[in-house]
Structure 1
Amino acid sequence: MKKIAPVLASLLLIVACSKTSEKQDKLISGIDTSLNPGDNFFRYVNHEWYDTVQIPKTQTGVGAYRFMNYQQRLKLQGLLDSISQINHPLGSIEQKVSDFYISGLDTATINELGYKPVKPLLTKIGYINNVHYLLKYVIDNLKVNSTSLISFNIGPDQQNSNMNIAHVSQSGIGLPDRDYYFKTDSATVRIQKAYKHYLATLFELTDHDADSSNYFANVVYDIEKQLAESHKTRVERRNVKTNYHKMAVTDLEKRQPNLEWSQVLRDLGAKTDSLDMRQMEYYDKLNTLLPEINISDWRIYLKAASLRHFASKLSEPFTDANFEYSKVLTGQNEKNLRKETIASAVDNYLGEALGQVYVKAYFPESTKVRMEELVNNLQEAYAKRIDNLEWMTDSTKQKAKEKLFAITKKIGYPDTWKDYGYVHVFKDTYFENVISADAARYLRQLKKLGQPVDKTEWFVTPSTVTAYNNPSANEIVFPAGILQPPYFDNTADDALNYGGIGMVIGHEITHTFDDQGAQYDKDGNVKNWWTDTDYDNFKERIQQVIDQYSGFTVLDSIHVNGAMCVGENTADIAGVAVAYDAFKMTKEGQDSTKIDGYTPDQRFFLSIANIWRVKMTDDYLRYWINTNPHSPPKWRVNGPLMNTTPFYEAFHLKPQDSMFLAKKDRITIW
C-alpha cells in the first residue's frame, strides 16, 4: 500500500467483538443478502453503505484505506488544537508543531502578504541570462524542496544496499503524469485546459495582464510537453534494472555537457564522483533543450514552476487557484477547511515530531505486541506455501525462505525519532516555517551521501493509514495509523483481523516477491537468486496477472492498467491466500462456530471486502487509474477472491456466477 480518530459509525463494519448477542448485531452491517455474493462480492458486502454514504464536499472519496486519512487529519487537528493553547519551551517538539499550526491558521497575515514571500525568487529569475545561472537557480530551489528540472535524492545503491548514493530522476512537468500531455479524450483535454488556466491565473496574481499571462501559460505548457516526451511511462519505470544507471560524473559531463554536472553537485553540496541517473533519456533531452529554448522562455518556465510549488503556502487567491485546478483533476467540490489543511501540513513537515504526540495519545503497546504475533504467523504460513509450490525447484525455494525470514518488521512508530533541531518555527511566519522545515529535510538527506544506510529510518509518518514494503532494505512497515478498525481491532475475533490486517501483512510480504521485489536478494541488492527455469515460470504467472486484470472494467470503457498495477495485484492475490492459510492455523480458523450467522471462513472474506470499502468521485477514479499502481477498491476485493478457491467454497459459488473462474484459470503465484 506504495503510502485515526474513532472512525465515523457510518463507515464502520467492525465496531466491537463480543460473544454477547447484543454486540454480535454490530459485528457485520450493510450486507445485502438479496444479492448473490458470487456475482460481485464487493457490492454484496458494501451495497447498502455505498449507495447511501455521501462523499464530503471537501474530499474526493470516503471510506477505508487512504480515505481514512481524512479522519486522521481531524484527529491530528484535535491534538494540535489542544497543545496550541499552551506555551511550550522554545525548541521543544510541542512548541514547533503547535507554533507551525498557529502560523498556518494566521490567514490574516498570510493574505496581507499576498505573493510577497516569493517576490525575491521572481526577481532572481529575472536576472537569469544563461544556462549556467538557470541551473544555479534550479539547484538553490531544490534545496528547499522546490523541484523543477532536476529531481535529486540520496538513497541506497541497488547494487550495494548498505551504502547511500546520489540519484536523479525524471522531472520538469506540472501535470500528474507524462500521458496527460498526449491523450486526446475529452476528460484529459478538460484537465489540460484547467491546468493552462491555472498557470495563467498564477501569472495574473503576480501582476501580469491577462493576455501576457495566457501567452506565458502556453510557453510553459509547450516546454513541459517537450520534456514529457522523454519521460518513461509508469509501466516502464517498473523495470528495476533499466532505471538504474550509475555513472562517473566525468562521463556524464561528456554525455550531457550543458547540464554541468560537476558544478550542479557542488552547488547541491553533494561530494561524490558518481551518480545514479534513473531515467537517462530525460536528462539527454534536457541537455538538448537547455540551449535550444530561448532563455526568456526558460525564465517564464521557472516562474511557473516556483509559483506552482509555493501556491498552497501563499494568500487565499493562490490557494483558490490551486483548488480550482485540483477540482477539475479530482472532482473535489469544496476546499478543505483551513484547520484540516494545516494539520496535514504539520504532519508533512514535522511528521515525526507530531507523531510522538499522536503515539502517546492513540497507540497502545498491546497493539504492537499483537501485530508482531500476526506478522510472525503470516511468515510461517508463507514459508509453507513456498514449500508447496509445484513450479519452483528446491534450491530457489531455499533462497526464497531465506529472504522471507530476513525481512525486517517495523510496527507502529520508529525506534529513533527524527531530529528537528535545525527547524526554526514561529507563530507568525508560515512561509518561512515551511522553508525552514524543507531546508532541514534537505540537510538531513544530504548527510546520508556516502554513508551507511540507516535501516531504522521510516518513510511515512506514524499517523498515516498505509503500509509499505521497502525492497532495498527488505523491510515491511505498518504505521500506527493503519492499526485500527476496520484493519485491526485488538478485541476482535481472528477471522476479522486475519481478513483485515492479515491480508495487508500478506500483501506487504508479497511485495518482497512481486515482479520488482523478486529482483532483490535478502540483503536488498538487485541480484539474481533464481534458476533460469524458475524465473521463467514466475514471469509466466506474472503475465497471467497482467492479462486477467487488464480485462476488468472500471469506468465506462476504462480498464485496469494490468501492467502498471501488476505488483499490487500480485500482492493482493497472494496476500489473501497467505492470510487465509495463517487464519486456518488459529483455533477459530479450525472451528465452524457461526457468529452473526456467518462461519469463520465467511467472516474472513467479509472482512476483506470491508477493508476496501471505498467510494470515490468519478473524476478521482479516472485520476486513480492514470496514476495509481493499485487497482480500484472493487477489484482489490473481487480480483483476488476470483483466484481464491476457499472463497468459492465458503460462499458456494457456481459456474454461472459472474466471479466464477474454472480452477485452471485461477492464478496462484505464491
Structure 2
Amino acid sequence: MKHLLLATAALACAAAPLLAQTATPTEGDTATATQAKKYEPWGFDLSARDMAVKPGDDFDNYANGGWAKRTEIPGDQPSAGVGYDVFNLSQVQLRSLIEAAPATSLIGGLYKSFMDEARVDALGARPLAADLAKIAAVKDKAGFARLNGAQSAGFGLPLFSPFVYSDPNRPGINTFYIGQAGIGLPERDYYLKPDFQPQRTAYRAYIERALAMAGYPTPAAHADAIMAFETEIAKVSWAAADRRDLDKTNNPMTVAELKKLAPGFAWKEFLAGAMVGDPGTMIVQEKSAFPAIAAIFDKTPLDTLKAWNAFHTIYQASPYLAKTFVDSRFEFVRSLSGVSAQRPRWKRGTTLVDQSLGEELGRAYVERYFPASSKQEMEELVGNLKLAMGDRITAAPWMSAATKKEALAKLNAMKVMVGYPDKWRDYSKLKIDAADLYGNVERSHAFEWAYTLTDLNKPVDGGKWLMTPQTVNAYNGGEENKIVFPAGILQPPFFNPKADPAVNYGSIGAVIGHEISHGFDDQGRKIDATGKVRDWWTPEDAKRFDAQADIFGKQYDSYEPVAGTHVNGKLTMGENIADLAGLAVAHDAYLRSLGGKPAPVIDGLTGDQRFFLAFAQSWRDKQRDDAIRQQVASDPHTPSRFRVIGPVRDLDAWYAAFGVKPGDKYYVAPADRPRIW
C-alpha cells in the first residue's frame, strides 16, 4: 500500500442517519469558504513567493519563501503548511458535524465521553485496573503470548504485528500477515544512533513515570529492564528501507513452519489470543528478525515481559485517562516532534471520533462538504491522467514491447475510487457509552479487529477503503491495483473547480499521477495487473529501470534537510519515483487538456509556470527539526522541501518554463536527468 504523508451511496445498513441536520451555516461552512478565498482568483497565492530567489537555485523558496518568512509553526503542530491548512479545515468541518450529533448517537456519545474531562480526571488510574490485573495474573510465557495476541484487539503492543490484506501470491484472496514489532520508539535507529540520545532519555523517563503513576512496583528498575529489552529487539529488527522491499517481505509459510523458524515463542497461544487460530498460509514479513526476536523473548524474564506489557498498555491508554497521564505522555511525545503545546481537547476528541467511527462520520461529511459535481470532475481528471500515463508507457524508448504490454494491462485494470465508498460500514454493533471513555476506546479496538478478521481467507472486497472519506490523503492499493482519493483532499488548493486548469493539474493532478505511478515504482512494478507479485519485466528492461533508479536515488541521498541528516534515497525511492513520474504525467495531461491551443498568460505567468508553482504550493511546508529527523529515520516520504525541488529539477519542461541554466544550484544537465517513466 502506498500513501501520498490526503451522489447517493448504497448503505451497509438501513439505520437512519445519526447526525442532526440543520440548514444553518456552521463553523465548518465558514471555514470552507475562507479556505477557498485564500487562493482566489486563479488558485495560487502570489504573495507566497520570494522573488529575490532564482527558481533554479531553490524552487521551494522561490515559490514559498515569502510565506515561510512570515509563518510561525503553531505550538501544537510539528509543521505548518498547505497540508496542515487543509487538515485543520477538515477538523473544523468535522467538529461542526460532531457537535450537532445527539449524545444518544454513536458519534455524539463517543465525543461526549471524551469531552467530559472532569469525569475522566475523577477516575484517575482506575480504568487501567482490569487490564493491569490481567497482565499481573499471567503465570508463564505461554499465557503471556496468549494475552499479547489478544492485545491486537485492545490496549497494549503485540510483540509481533498481525494484519490482514490481499495475498501477494494468490490474487483476490485476503491472507494473514505478521511483522516485527515490540518497540515503542518510532524506529530502530532511535535505540542505536547517538543522534537520538535525547529521545531515548525522554522515553526511559516516561516509562518510569507511567509505571509509577499506575502503581506498578519498582518502576525505575523495570524501566531499565524495558529499555534493555526493546534495545535488543531494535538491534535485530530490519531497517525501514528493507521493510518496503516486496522481494524480501513476501515469505509465505504455515504455522508449523513459523514454529520451526522461530521456536522460542509460543505461536499457537499468540494466534489463539488474536482469535486467528491457524490462519493457513501466512506472510511472514521480516523473516530473519523473527527467530532473533523469539530468542530474545525466550531469554527475557517473565517479570520484565509483564512490566513491558503493562507499560505499553498504559502508554496506549493514556490519552483516555486523567490529565496527569495525558500530560506525562505528552512530555515524552514532544521530544519526538518538537511541539511545545498539546492540541486543544476538541481536536483530540474529533480525532478519536474520526478514527473510531470514520465512515459513520464520513457519510455526513460528504453530504455537506463534497458535491456530486466535484466527484464527477475529479473522475474526469483521473481519466485524463490515466490516458497520459498510457501514452508515456507506450512512448518509453527504453522499454520493450513485451514489458509495455504488461504495463498497459496493469494500468487499464487499475480501479479508481473518488470521494467515498459505494457501500458504508455498519457500526450498529459497537457499544458506545457517553459515561465510559476508556471502555468506548477498548470496545472500538475490539470492533475494528473483529472487522479485520472478517476478511481473513475470504475474497478481497475491492470496494472497501483503507482511508475514510474525510482523510486529507490518497493511496495506491498495491496488490489490489486501485487508486483512492478521499473527499478530504479534494479541497483548495489541492483541488478547486473554480481554479485555473494549470493549478488543478499541477496540484491534484500531480497527486493523481503520484498514485498511478506507484503501480510502476521500484516495488509497484513487481505487482502485475491481477495483484500478484511476480517478475513481468524482461531482464534488459529491469536493468535499465534499476540503473535510472540508482541515479535518482543518489540525488536524494545528497539532500540534507537538517544539518547532519540526509534523506535516505533507498527508503524513499518509491515515493520519490511517484513524485517525479506523477508530476511528468500531470504535465502531459495538462498539455493534452489544452487541445493544442496555447495556454493563456495570467498575472504575467505562462501556463507551465502556473503548473509548477501550483505543484510547489501543494508541498508548502515548514517543519521543526525534530519532526524532520523523525521523518527521515522512519518515513518513506522525503521531507516536503525536497518533494518540491527533487522532481522539478529532473523535468525538461521546468527548465524551459523558468529559464534555469547551467550554474544554477539545482541545474542537472539533460544527459544526467534520470528518465523514469
Instruction: Report TM bin, short chain.
Output: over 0.9
State the partner residue of 1:336.
343
State the partner residue of 1:58.
76
- Cα deviation for residue 454 of structure 1 reads 0.8
- Cα deviation for residue 182 of structure 1 reads 0.3
- Cα deviation for residue 405 of structure 1 reads 1.2
Matched, 1:354 2:361: yes
- Cα deviation for residue 30 of structure 1 reads 2.2
Matched, 1:15 2:25: no
Counterparts of 1:5 and 1:395, CA distance in 2: 52
State the partner residue of 1:216.
222
Counterparts of 1:44 and 1:254, CA distance in 2: 58
State the partner residue of 2:132.
122
Secondary structure at the counterpart of residue 100 of structure 2: helix
State the partner residue of 1:200.
208
Q: TM-score, normalised by structure 2?
A: 0.93
- Cα deviation for residue 618 of structure 1 reads 1.5
Identify the match of residue 490 of structure 2 among 483, 492, 501: 483
1:476-508 per-position Cα deviation (integer Å, ceiling 9, x unaligned): 111001101111001111101000100111111
Q: Cα 1:31–1:268, aligned 2, differ >3 Å: closer, same or farther?
A: closer
Counterparts of 1:462 and 1:251, CA distance in 2: 40
Counterparts of 2:124 and 2:142, CA distance in 1: 31
Asked whether the 8 Å contact 2:35–2:492 carries over to 1, the reply is: no
Counterparts of 1:52 and 1:576, CA distance in 2: 28
Asked whether the 8 Å contact 1:17–1:27 carries over to 2, the reply is: no
State the partner residue of 1:160.
170
- The one-letter amino acid of 1:339's match is W
State the partner residue of 2:630.
623
Identify the match of residue 333 of structure 2 among 312, 326, 337: 326
Matches within 5 A, 1:363-378: 363-378=370-385
Q: Cα 1:585–1:140, aligned 2, differ >3 Å: closer, same or farther?
A: same
Q: Which runs of 5+ in 2 are unaligned?
A: 6-27
Q: TM-score, normalised by structure 1?
A: 0.94
Counterparts of 1:602 and 1:351, CA distance in 2: 38
Secondary structure at the counterpart of residue 581 of structure 2: helix
State the partner residue of 2:25.
none
Counterparts of 2:36 and 2:288, CA distance in 1: 47
- Cα deviation for residue 37 of structure 1 reads 1.5
Matches within 5 A, 1:144-293: 144=154, 146-185=156-195, 188-208=196-216, 212-270=218-276, 271-293=278-300
Matched, 1:596 2:606: no
Matched, 1:519 2:537: no
Counterparts of 2:81 and 2:35, CA distance in 1: 6
Counterparts of 2:31 and 2:612, CA distance in 1: 21
- Cα deviation for residue 509 of structure 1 reads 0.7
Counterparts of 2:340 and 2:416, CA distance in 1: 39
Secondary structure at the counterpart of residue 235 of structure 1: helix
Asked whether the 8 Å contact 1:248–1:273 carries over to 2, the reply is: yes
- Cα deviation for residue 87 of structure 1 reads 5.6
Q: Cα 1:208–1:102, aligned 2, differ >3 Å: closer, same or farther?
A: same
- The one-letter amino acid of 1:36's match is K
Secondary structure at the counterpart of residue 455 of structure 1: coil
Matched, 1:102 2:112: yes
Matches within 5 A, 1:411-560: 411-560=418-567
State the partner residue of 2:94.
76
State the partner residue of 1:21.
none
Secondary structure at the counterpart of residue 513 of structure 1: coil
- Cα deviation for residue 150 of structure 1 reads 2.2
Q: Which runs of 5+ in 1 are unaligned?
A: 19-23, 89-94
- Cα deviation for residue 344 of structure 1 reads 0.5
1:262-282 per-position Cα deviation (integer Å, ceiling 9, x unaligned): 333333322423322111233
- The one-letter amino acid of 2:147's match is Y
Q: Cα 1:532–1:655, aligned 2, differ >3 Å: closer, same or farther?
A: same
Matches within 5 A, 1:376-387: 376-387=383-394
Asked whether the 8 Å contact 2:151–2:274 carries over to 1, the reply is: no
Asked whether the 8 Å contact 1:500–1:608 carries over to 2, the reply is: yes
State the partner residue of 1:137.
147
- The one-letter amino acid of 2:272's match is R
Q: Cα 1:51–1:124, aligned 2, differ >3 Å: closer, same or farther?
A: same
- The one-letter amino acid of 1:365's match is A
1:452-487 per-position Cα deviation (integer Å, ceiling 9, x unaligned): 011111111111111111111001111001101111
Counterparts of 2:300 and 2:643, CA distance in 1: 45
- The one-letter amino acid of 1:356's match is R
- Cα deviation for residue 208 of structure 1 reads 4.8
- The one-letter amino acid of 1:226's match is E
Counterparts of 2:211 and 2:270, CA distance in 1: 28
Secondary structure at the counterpart of residue 615 of structure 1: strand
Asked whether the 8 Å contact 2:263–2:291 carries over to 1, the reply is: no
Counterparts of 1:67 and 1:622, CA distance in 2: 22
- The one-letter amino acid of 2:492's match is P
Counterparts of 2:143 and 2:612, CA distance in 1: 59
Q: Cα 1:565–1:508, aligned 2, differ >3 Å: closer, same or farther?
A: same
Counterparts of 2:602 and 2:459, CA distance in 1: 52
1:419-456 per-position Cα deviation (integer Å, ceiling 9, x unaligned): 11221112111111111111111111111111101111
- Cα deviation for residue 407 of structure 1 reads 0.6
- The one-letter amino acid of 1:216's match is H
Counterparts of 1:526 and 1:67, CA distance in 2: 38
Asked whether the 8 Å contact 1:11–1:63 carries over to 2, the reply is: no
Identical-residue share of aligned pairs (%): 33
State the partner residue of 2:621.
614
- Cα deviation for residue 290 of structure 1 reads 2.7
Q: Cα 1:277–1:652, aligned 2, differ >3 Å: closer, same or farther?
A: same
- Cα deviation for residue 158 of structure 1 reads 0.6
Secondary structure at the counterpart of residue 382 of structure 1: helix
Counterparts of 2:571 and 2:261, CA distance in 1: 31
Secondary structure at the counterpart of residue 48 of structure 2: coil
Asked whether the 8 Å contact 1:141–1:147 carries over to 2, the reply is: yes
Identify the match of residue 36 of structure 1 among 51, 54, 58: 54
State the partner residue of 1:646.
653
- Cα deviation for residue 592 of structure 1 reads 3.8
1:612-638 per-position Cα deviation (integer Å, ceiling 9, x unaligned): 111111211111111221111111111
Counterparts of 1:602 and 1:145, CA distance in 2: 50
Asked whether the 8 Å contact 1:494–1:589 carries over to 2, the reply is: no
Counterparts of 1:6 and 1:199, CA distance in 2: 43
Q: Cα 1:2–1:649, aligned 2, differ >3 Å: closer, same or farther?
A: closer
Asked whether the 8 Å contact 2:338–2:627 carries over to 1, the reply is: yes
1:146-176 per-position Cα deviation (integer Å, ceiling 9, x unaligned): 3331211111111012111111110000000
Asked whether the 8 Å contact 2:479–2:531 carries over to 1, the reply is: yes
Counterparts of 2:293 and 2:573, CA distance in 1: 31
- Cα deviation for residue 394 of structure 1 reads 1.0
Secondary structure at the counterpart of residue 178 of structure 2: strand
Secondary structure at the counterpart of residue 269 of structure 1: coil
- Cα deviation for residue 332 of structure 1 reads 0.7
Counterparts of 1:591 and 1:667, CA distance in 2: 28
